[in-house]
Amino acid sequence: MHYPNGKKNNGFHQPSATNRSMGFSNRGMTLEEDINATNKFYRDTNKAVIHKKPTPVQVVNVHYPKRSAAVITEGYFKQPSTTDYNGVYRSRHIDFEAKETKNKTRFPLANIHAHQINHMKSILNHGGICFLIIRFSVYNETYYIPAETFFPFWDGQFNDGKKSIPYETIQNKGYKIPFHLQARVDYLAMIDQLYF
């Protein structure tokens, strides 16, 4: 895929099904799949309404190997995406970004983009609840990081040059989300703890 400026997205990508860790906590699932299952459980139990935001893509080339199966061979993002998920919980707007990394020692800040940070700051300014969910797939650990906690690390990269957050810092500053059978990534439990 290409961003609107025509550049390829060479940043973060999800691991393929053959590369994924098959540990207990995610049982081979990606973070996105776990969050989508969690959000479905929230909706089914009428706890919250949270959805993944679709990213608008302009299709440029399509290959038709047979009449019933079209394959998109080239496409461009129409506009930069904001965050991955949003919705409503306990009358508050919820907005968050989810990232998964195979890195054992740090979370690279290159996984996040400036327009996403601007969006998150805007959500906070309007009274919404905004955060990141970061999974270290090699450890099968998932963390809830409030946006307010994340911003100093983002801003710091432009001052002292640190381009990542150490794993130990995320352990200390974030909130580990335990795996549950139905709400696999029960981030609402963290929101209850911090806001309600």
Residues tagged in the binding site annotation: 82, 84, 97, 116
Which residue spans within the chain are E strands per DSSP? 49-52, 57-66, 69-77, 85-89, 92-101, 106-108, 129-136, 141-146, 164-166, 175-176
Q: Which two tokens stand for residue 93?
A: 């707007």
**Binding annotation for Mg(2+):** 82, 84, 97, 116
Cβ contacts of 177 within 8 Å, gap of 6 or more: 133, 142, 143, 144, 185, 186, 187, 189, 190
Cβ contacts of 120 within 8 Å, gap of 6 or more: 83, 95, 97, 130, 147, 151
Give the whole-angstrom CA distance, residue 167 versus residue 72: 37
Which residue spans within 18-128 are E strands per DSSP? 49-52, 57-66, 69-77, 85-89, 92-101, 106-108
